[in-house]
Amino acid sequence: DGGITQSPKYLFRKEGQNVTLSCEQNLNHDAMYWYRQDPGQGLRLIYYSQIVNDFQKGDIAEGYSVSREKKESFPLTVTSAQKNPTAFYLCASTTSRDSPINYGYTFGSGTRLTVV
């Protein structure tokens, strides 16, 4: 079955460490997104990418970096510059600029990152 796979499900990071969250989709979707979820704050957009080798900052990009070398993959790196990284991270995808209207966004099952 097609879908989005996020790994790992749980991740622990030490202070000052960079960590990378994986997001892979086999839906042949063009656009991919990273959201951060904190209790009571909904989901906030970190980065998004419409096509390979192109990505844009979202509302809270500071302390994060991404790459889009392949259509199916959109990894997120949480750098040591992100001072409060403990959160639930969700990856999403959709087929094109117009299709969120018709098909919505498909979400992965998330990665819970905790700083220890």
Partner 1 sequence: AQSVTQLGSHVSVSEGALVLLRCNYSSSVPPYLFWYVQYPNQGLQLLLKYTSAATLVKGINGFEAEFKKSETSFHLTKPSAHMSDAAEYFCAVSDLSAGGTSYGKLTFGQGTILTVHP
Which tokens is 20 given? Answer: 């990378």
From the list 54, 48, 56, the residue with the least C-alpha distance to 91 is 48
Closer by beta carbon to partner 1, 15 or else 54: 54
* Alpha carbon distance 54, 7 (integer Å): 22
Does position 112 interact with partner 1 (CB under 8 A)? The reply is yes
Does position 16 interact with partner 1 (CB under 8 A)? The reply is no
Cβ atoms < 10 Å from Cβ of 32: 29
From the list 107, 98, 46, 52, the residue with the least C-alpha distance to 76 is 46
Does position 94 interact with partner 1 (CB under 8 A)? The reply is yes
Among 48, 76, 78, 113, binds partner 1 (CB under 8 A): 48
Closest distance between partner 1 and the C-beta of residue 115, in Å?
18
Closest distance between partner 1 and the C-beta of residue 10, in Å?
9
Closer by beta carbon to partner 1, 53 or else 102: 102
